[in-house]
Amino acid sequence: MKPNATIFKRRSKYSVKNWKLTWKDILPISVSALAALFSGYTALVTQKYTTDTTVQKDYVQIAIQILREPRRDDDSEIRLWAKKMVDKNSPVPIPQEAADQLSVSKILIGWTDNHPILNRIMKRSSECPAVDISEMPVNQHSAVESLKKQCDKNSGDLTLLKTYLRMIKDGAK
């Protein structure tokens, strides 16, 4: 018996030559592809925005820290950079006068301005002895400066403690 030749010649309705795609066939595939592309693009834009915002926030924090430091003779360029960073990345720009007043040595909290005790504490002078480090070896300069800062801090703490104890004593009478 001879095999039927038509069985082998018959084409499947799914063969490539029988494909007649209509817009109804293409639409679900293209919508899925476009949705995937849109989702990826949205994630990319969101990530970039979040990263940029975080970097800007960090720059503003660094710049404000620099502006709060007491002024020195050699820090004019870093202060100028910090002012530019605040102007560029801060949602609210800081005027030059305000940036100049950010120095810790110049800040006086508003409610202490008229209070005699707090005003005296805020404007106190250091009780630590002055040390001329120019006569010392260079390798000891940083150690002496560190001790000077610690002495200033301790002096301030002692002044606050004395004032507090005096206020308690006077209040108890």
Q: Convert the pLDDT of each residue in 11-25 to its tens digit.
A: 555 555 656 777 788
Give the pLDDT of residue 13. 57
Taking only the tens place, the pLDDT of each residue in 56-93 is: 888 888 888 888 887 777 888 888 888 888 888 877 77
Taking only the tens place, the pLDDT of each residue in 82-125 is: 888 888 887 777 777 776 666 544 444 444 455 666 556 555 55
- Is residue 5 domain-resident? no
Are 103 and 113 part of one and the same domain?
A: no
Give the pLDDT of residue 168. 73
Give the pLDDT of residue 93. 72
Give the pLDDT of residue 35. 96
- Is residue 1 domain-resident? no
- Which domain does 62 fall in, by range? 21-107
Q: What is the mean pLDDT of the chain?
A: 75
Distance separating alpha carbons of residues 56 and 85, to the nearest angstrom: 8
Question: What contacts 106, CB < 8 A, 6 or more positions away?
Answer: 100
Question: 155, 128 in Cβ contact below 8 A?
Answer: yes
Which of the four pLDDT bands, split at 50, 70 and 90, describes residue 37? very high
- Is residue 89 domain-resident? yes
Q: Which of 57, 73, 107 is the last residue of a domain?
A: 107
Are 141 and 102 part of one and the same domain?
A: no
Distance separating alpha carbons of residues 99 and 67, to the nearest angstrom: 7
Are 100 and 129 part of one and the same domain?
A: no
| Domain count across the chain | 2
- Is residue 15 domain-resident? no
Question: 152, 126 in Cβ contact below 8 A?
Answer: yes
Are 103 and 36 part of one and the same domain?
A: yes
Q: CB neighbours (10 Å) of residue 108?
A: 13
- Is residue 13 domain-resident? no
Are 97 and 125 part of one and the same domain?
A: no
Are 52 and 114 part of one and the same domain?
A: no
Of 22, 26, 24, residue with least CA distance to 34: 26
Taking only the tens place, the pLDDT of each residue in 125-170 is: 556 777 788 888 888 888 888 888 888 777 777 777 777 777 777 7
Q: Which of 64, 89, 107 is the last residue of a domain?
A: 107
Are 93 and 171 part of one and the same domain?
A: no
Are 121 and 168 part of one and the same domain?
A: yes
Question: 138, 88 in Cβ contact below 8 A?
Answer: no
Are 129 and 73 part of one and the same domain?
A: no
98 φ, ψ (degrees, to nearest 5): -65, -40
Rounded to two decimals, the pTM is 0.40
- Is residue 3 domain-resident? no
CA angle 147, 118, 157 (to 5 degrees): 25
- Is residue 53 domain-resident? yes
Are 101 and 114 part of one and the same domain?
A: no
CA–CA distance from 46 to each of 50, 52, 90, 91 (Å)? Answer: 6, 10, 20, 19
Are 58 and 39 part of one and the same domain?
A: yes
Are 77 and 137 part of one and the same domain?
A: no
